[in-house]
């Protein structure tokens, strides 16, 4: 691997959270490689550690990395603060975006674009850029003057997340259950927004989802199954179809051990990892 392709590498990642009964390990050795232009879906039952993985990548202080590494283009992500990670090119679309009363969407977007790009975007081009991105996501222009996530519907929150992804142009975007809580129309619009970013080929996407529904709109090259804090199976899009039919039962009952689904699918991610190192 010599070409300068943006690559997020997660190696043997162990993550704990503090509970009343002491620290509890949620991720137990996750290995994953996501390159620019690739789309990976991570699927798994509730409590398997999907959200923990996404928050750990973004650096949420609630999660403690006890072992392993995350690097972006060889740079150690774990030593970076939350904001530095974003400026390095990591983006997390949150499952439950937070309300920030009184901070307008337009002020927020301009502040974050200024921070991530390292300079304030030119006002004239910026206004056009925001307008075009909002139109693509079928967002009312009046939206820009509302408080961040304040009184937004579920669909509006998710569109707002994808709008930010489109404007911030990350190297790696982690989409944490972006499909949850969306009706069919909203899912179509949000998926369209993700596809638009994907089509540019400049962003590696890690799509975290509980359901296969969104995979009808976005076809990942790689599908991973997460259970009990590990990636227990990896494959191509066909793995999603298997999950759609069979659900997660086999993974959950199997105590987290990988179960071969045939088709040589399990070899995909490890092979990718090997090529990256």
Partner 1 sequence: MAVIDATGRPPAAAGAVPRPVRSRDPQDHDVPTGREEAWRFTPLRRLRGLPTGPEADGLVTVTVTAPDGVAVERLDAADARIGRVLIPADRIAAFATARAGGATAVTIPAEASLSEPVIVRLHGEGPQGAAGAASAAGVAYGHLVIEAGPFSSATVVLDHTGSATYAGNVEVYVGHGASLTVISLQDWDAGTVHLGAHAFSVGRDAKLRSFTVTLGGELVRLNPTVDYRGPGGDAELNGVFFTDAGQHQEHRLLVTHQARSCRSRVTYKGALRGESAHAVWIGDVLIGADAVDTDTYELNRNLVLTDGARADSVPNLEILTGEVVGAGHASATGRFDDEALFYLQSRGIPPTEARRLVVHGFFAEVIDRIDIPELRDRIMTSVAARLGESELAEAIAEAEAAEAAEAAEAAEAAEAAEAAEAAEAAGAAAGAGAGAGAGAGA
Residues in contact with partner 1 by CB under 8 A are 58-61, 81-83, 85-87, 91-92, 94, 97-103, 107-108, 110-112, 114-116, 119-124, 147-148, 164, 168
Tell me whether residue 128 or residue 216 sits nearer to partner 1 (CB atom).
128
Q: How far is the CB of 157 from partner 1 (least distance, A)?
A: 11
Tokens linked to 125? 């081009």
Q: How far is the CB of 58 from partner 1 (least distance, A)?
A: 5
Q: How far is the CB of 56 from partner 1 (least distance, A)?
A: 12
Q: How far is the CB of 88 from partner 1 (least distance, A)?
A: 9
Q: How far is the CB of 234 from partner 1 (least distance, A)?
A: 27
Tell me whether residue 28 or residue 85 sits nearer to partner 1 (CB atom).
85
Q: How far is the CB of 194 from partner 1 (least distance, A)?
A: 18
Tell me whether residue 175 or residue 243 sits nearer to partner 1 (CB atom).
175
Give how far Cα 165 sits from Cα of 20, 107, 174, 189, Å: 35, 16, 10, 14
Tell me whether residue 78 or residue 252 sits nearer to partner 1 (CB atom).
78
């Amino acid at each position: 691997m010599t070409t300068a392709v943006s690559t997020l590498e997660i190696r043997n990642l162990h993550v704990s959270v503090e509970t009343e009964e002491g620290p509890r390990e949620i991720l137990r050795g996750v290995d994953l490689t996501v390159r620019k232009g690739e789309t990976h879906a991570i699927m798994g039952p509730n409590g398997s550690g999907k959200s923990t993985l996404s928050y750990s990548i973004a650096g949420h202080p609630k999660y403690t990395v006890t072992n392993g590494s995350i690097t972006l283009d060889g740079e150690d992500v774990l030593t970076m603060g939350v904001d530095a990670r974003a400026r390095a090119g990591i983006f997390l679309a949150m499952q439950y975006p937070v309300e920030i009363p009184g901070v307008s969407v337009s002020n927020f977007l301009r502040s974050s674009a200024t921070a991530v790009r390292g300079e304030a975007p030119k006002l004239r081009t910026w206004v056009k850029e925001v307008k075009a991105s909002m139109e693509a996501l079928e967002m009312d222009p009046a939206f820009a003057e509302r408080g961040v996530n304040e009184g937004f519907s579920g669909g509006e929150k998710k569109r707002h997340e994808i709008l930010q992804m489109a404007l911030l142009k990350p190297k790696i975007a982690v989409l944490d259950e972006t499909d949850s809580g969306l009706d069919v129309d909203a899912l179509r619009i949000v998926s369209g927004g993700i596809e638009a970013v994907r089509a540019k080929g400049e962003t590696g996407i890690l799509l975290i989802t509980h359901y296969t529904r969104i995979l009808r709109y976005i076809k990942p090259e790689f599908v991973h199954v997460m259970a009990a804090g590990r990636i227990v199976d990896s494959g191509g899009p066909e793995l999603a179809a298997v999950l759609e039919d069979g659900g997660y039962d086999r993974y959950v009952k199997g105590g987290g051990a990988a179960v071969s689904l045939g088709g040589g699918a399990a070899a995909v991610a490890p092979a990718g990892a090997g090529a990256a190192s």
